Amino acid sequence: MPPLGTSWFGVIATTVCLSVASYIHWYNSRLKSVNYMPGMRVLFSPITIFGAALPLTWWNPGMKWTWYWRKTGYMNRQRDMISVVPFLAGRPFYYTGSLHVTKQILLNDFKIQMEKPKSLGSALLLWGDNLITANGEMWKRHRRLLNPAFSRETYIMVIEETAALYRELVSAEGWSTQTDLTFDHFNRIPQKLAYLVVARCGFDVRTPWAEEEANPDDPDTSLGDTLKIVCESVIARLLLPMWAYRLPIKSLHFIDSKWKSLEVQMNEFVLRRKEELDVETLDGGKQRKDLFSRLVGALDHEAKVGLSMQEVIGNTFTFMFAGHETTAHVMSATLAFLAIHPEEQEKAVDEIRQNIPADKDPTLDDLAKLTHTLACFVETLRIYPAGVILSRDILEDITVEVEYPRKETVAIPKGSLVIIDMVGVHHDPHVFPEPEKFNPSRWYGASDHDMTMFGAGPRACIGRKFSQLEALTFFSLLLRDWKVDVLLQPNETRAQYAERVMEKASMIGLAFGVESVPLKLTKRA
């Protein structure tokens, strides 16, 4: 009989060998699921909580790699697609940074059996299904009900309200008596502007620019202020389990109370608007055209033809936050680029002065002539796409044509997840020469279909024109009155400013953008 120690050693050794063999077999099956495509072999999937929460390293790229590794990703841009196969947590999937592959997928959104995975839209599902997260017939129902809200009448209202808010801004912030203004964090201005434009045009909530800041601890905080607080805490709400809010941590109690308060306020807001619409209908009054009124008008508790209460609230939350944050981030970054590149700013100013009289607000027809100014906005959105990823679960075997490393057909098996890296797509040097260069002229003459930063195919962003008109109105008024310049630190050059400011980009709330833009405004003669 062998010594007891030897026996136990054999058991342990056998167990270890079997475990290693089992793991190798398991991991090989994961590699096989992506057809052994080269790519990232990491500890955690970038789209899991672990991957997103841990710092960016070679073994944990997280969600930030698409920006910080944009120049060297996809094997130094020699592959249109790569695979991600985690060693520990998360399902294997495909990444693509190719516009060619992206169009094959998105333009066939209803020809190929695929859908948006619920798990990757969880931030927008916190309040209910909505146009962005819905699939199939549900998406068609949402789109049919919401599409009429984005009309010429709405776009005219966007221009008028943006112009009105600009005047309120100038008065309330004391700009009218100043010749020079400095901002360590200019982002605050477009953020507030975009929020108020969506509130007025989307929800008929006429909050003035000069409204006093509410006390967040006040139990009677307004719906608008509660919405702001909730938006700032979306990531915490997503990552933390519900039991965490019962811990003796004041900040978590505060977040929990505001989320619960918002649920009550949103239900009351919907029911109150429903009553108002019913009364207006009985009185034969003018029908409201704003987005929220259309949502409430479609309220159908069985949700067979219209929308359920949760869907009304889900769409309200999505459009209020995804809508205003996207536009705000791009406006801030566009002004930063125009400050860094004064020659592009002067082209925009000349164009604005030629097409919009100095004593008048812009009209829809006027803004259609601002081709260079729009190109500046679109080029900024190319560099900083507000939605960093688009995702699709593939529900049938499909193939796509790739161009790199060579032209060939790639099979994507049923059950695969494909993630479209919007930063990678729009920094592809094969499509956008010198992708790091701010070059608005690359968009001269481009059609809406060319502007794939808003998505492509039937599910492209429904609010694209809303966003563009809001930005163009703001730019036309601001640049007509003020010269925008960089706010330099001591002994700093413009190139150093660009490196310091424009490289620091990340997810801010629900959209991607430059974290902080310091600017200087000088009154034009």
Q: Write out the DSSP string of 413-462.
A: -TT-EEEEEHHHHHT-TTTSSSTTS--GGGGTT--GGG-GGG--GGGS-T
In DSSP terms, 412 is beta-bridged to 398
Per-residue pLDDT, 296? 87
Q: What pLDDT, in 10s, does the model give residues 92-140?
A: 999 999 999 999 999 998 888 999 987 776 666 777 788 888 888 888 9
Greatest mean pLDDT among 143-152, 321-330, 357-366: 357-366
| Alpha carbons 217 and 294: distance in angstroms, whole number | 33
In DSSP terms, 419 is beta-bridged to 95, 391
pLDDT surpasses 70 at 391? yes
Per-residue pLDDT, 222? 64
Per-state percent for the chain, helix, strand, coil, to nearest 5:
55, 10, 35
User: Which residues touch 158 (CB under 8 Å, ≥6 apart)?
Assistant: 197, 201, 466, 469, 470, 473
Per-residue pLDDT, 291? 81
pLDDT surpasses 60 at 213? no
Own/partner contacts of 209-217, CB < 8 Å, gap of 24 or more, are 209/165, 209/168, 209/169, 209/171, 209/172, 210/168, 210/171, 210/172, 216/254, 216/258, 217/254
Residue 376 counted as an annotated binding residue:
no
Q: What is the mean pLDDT of residues 182-193?
A: 96
Per-residue pLDDT, 281? 78
pLDDT surpasses 60 at 266? yes
The model's confidence at residue 6, banded by pLDDT at 50, 70 and 90, is low
The answer to whether 384 and 330 are in contact (CB under 8 A) is: yes
Other Cβ atoms within 10 Å of 40 Cβ, number: 17
| Alpha carbons 253 and 249: distance in angstroms, whole number | 6
pLDDT surpasses 90 at 225? no
The answer to whether 466 and 153 are in contact (CB under 8 A) is: no
pLDDT surpasses 70 at 303? no
pLDDT surpasses 60 at 215? no
pLDDT surpasses 70 at 217? no
Per-residue pLDDT, 482? 97
- Cα–Cα distances (Å) from 399 to 80, 105, 111, 402, in that order, read 14, 10, 13, 10
**pLDDT averaged over every residue in the chain:** 89
Which of these, 407, 388, 419, lies nearest to 84 by C-alpha position?
A: 419
| Alpha carbons 37 and 404: distance in angstroms, whole number | 13
User: Which residues touch 100 (CB under 8 Å, ≥6 apart)?
Assistant: 80, 401, 402, 403, 431
The CATH superfamily of 97-523 is: Cytochrome P450 (1.10.630.10)
Per-residue pLDDT, 479? 98
Instruction: State which amino acid sits at residue 373.
Output: T
- Look at the block and give the residue holding tokens 């910080």: 68
Residue ranges per structural domain of the chain: 97-523
Q: What pLDDT, in 10s, does the model give residues 409-449?
A: 999 999 999 999 999 999 999 999 999 999 999 999 998 88
Classified as helix, coil or strand, 56 is: coil
- Range in 40-49, 395-404, 467-476 the model is least confident about: 40-49
The model's confidence at residue 255, banded by pLDDT at 50, 70 and 90, is confident
The answer to whether 288 and 149 are in contact (CB under 8 A) is: no
| More confident position, 340 or 15 | 340
pTM: 0.90
Per-residue pLDDT, 161? 96
Task: Tell me 287's DSSP state.
Answer: P
